[in-house]
Structure 1
Amino acid sequence: MARMTRGANVALTREIPGLTSLVVGVAWDAGSERVLSDNLVLALLLCGPDSRVLSERHMVFFNQLTSPDESVAARDEALDGDQEQIEVDLRGVPEDVARLVAVVYVNEGTTQRRTLGQLRAVSVVVRDATTHRELVRSEDLAPVLQAETALVLGEVYRHGGDWKFKVVGEGYRNGISGIAADYGLPL
């Protein structure tokens, strides 16, 4: 598959019959901004049909490594050039989860203010978890970022009996708290 622009989507399981697990990753280039690079976090939000996170336990990231049912898990070590990755067993995702929203944010615990506008490049990547083959890569989402401190990268979602992926690329100037408010995530 090719690079995808904001708003584009692809029917993953329809185009790749037998696809049962994915790796959602984020690749970024922070240049010499080491503090920024060290404080970026990838998270996956497990949402119901109303696009709201099911509970506070349905956010997978460095501080909560798996979903309650263990179908979604943060990887200890990112492969293939990604900085962070989260693995998804599509067969194990509970029926009440309609979409998995991938976000990246600047950890608000940093003492020096950093923004995603300082990134030279950032993209979301979806791979087959079994073969590590890249299935989808978004366009570079960095050029339009300025003072944002969080970004919805994309989402894996159910459509009929299939799983699709959509590039979102929506930035938030109020960080993870803005995403939390929009997706009903209690912080």
Structure 2
Amino acid sequence: MAINLSKGQKVDLTKTNPGLTNIVVGLGWDTNRYDGGHDFDLDSSVFLLNAQGKCAAESDFIFYNNPTGANGSVNHEGDNRTGEGAGDDETVKVNLASVPGSIERIVFAITIHDAEQRGQNFGQVANSYARIVNEANGEELIRYDLGEDFSIETALVVGELYRHNGEWKFNAIGSGYQGGLASLVKDFGLDV
């Protein structure tokens, strides 16, 4: 049975699931009724962070145009341009045992493509969530529903996997940003 998290909660992942190696991080969302004349395209991205909380190189920023990182241990499974239908809209596969030791945190974010130009924000998004699934058997281990607390934000840091005493844990962050993907990229030490 999955553990349901609230914003700010942290939970053991590998300690409570011995032998867990391959996980799928599923991210999902729906758009509210929107009549702005533009498509509404949300994108997931991943930042592989070192001990200083920064990406060591551009290759540590994983998204639909750079789908693989961390020596192949983190794989973005592709861009869903509509978010329609039930289930995960975008997924990222992680082989926890193969993540290089220099990577301390794996941060998952959702941004709205061209949000400023299109007049879009997360106040127009509903039912957003992150979940972690054991790839071996399909069991949902962790679920974090983000709620409807956002209004003008154009980027969300959903949560992060992080190392603690040789084990992997998950932190439900749920922080919104203005400035879209560009502000996240800068915060994590990369040039726009």
Same fold by TM-score, threshold 0.5 exceeded? yes
Local SS of the residue matching 1:166: strand
Unaligned runs of 5+ in 1: none
Unaligned runs of 5+ in 2: 81-85
Q: Distance in 1 between matches of 2:19 and 2:56?
A: 27
Distance 1:68 1:16, change over 3 A: closer
Which aligned pairs between 1:11-160 and structure 2 lie closer than 5 A? Answer: 11-33=12-34, 38-67=40-69, 69-76=71-78, 81-108=87-114, 111-139=117-145, 141-160=146-165
State the match for 2:83 in structure 1: none
Local SS of the residue matching 2:130: strand
**Native 8 Å contact 2:115 2:154 kept in 1:** no
Deviation per CA, 1:22-78, whole angstroms, max 9, x where unpaired? 111211111344988741000111000111112111111111110151110112488
Q: CA deviation at 1:2?
A: 2.1
Q: Distance in 2 between matches of 1:15 and 1:122?
A: 26
Distance 1:10 1:176, change over 3 A: same
Q: Distance in 1 between matches of 2:167 and 2:153?
A: 32
**Native 8 Å contact 1:30 1:37 kept in 2:** no
TM-score normalised to structure 1 length: 0.91
Question: For the aligned residues, what is the CA RMSD?
Answer: 2.2
TM-score normalised to structure 2 length: 0.89
Larger deviation: 65-74 or 161-170?
Answer: 65-74
Q: CA deviation at 1:131?
A: 1.6
State the match for 1:175 in structure 2: 180
Q: Distance in 2 between matches of 1:146 and 1:124?
A: 19
* Paired AA for residue 29 in structure 1: D
Percent identity between the two aligned chains: 31
Size of the aligned set, in residue pairs, is 186
Local SS of the residue matching 1:62: coil
Local SS of the residue matching 1:73: strand
Q: Distance in 1 between matches of 2:11 and 2:142?
A: 9
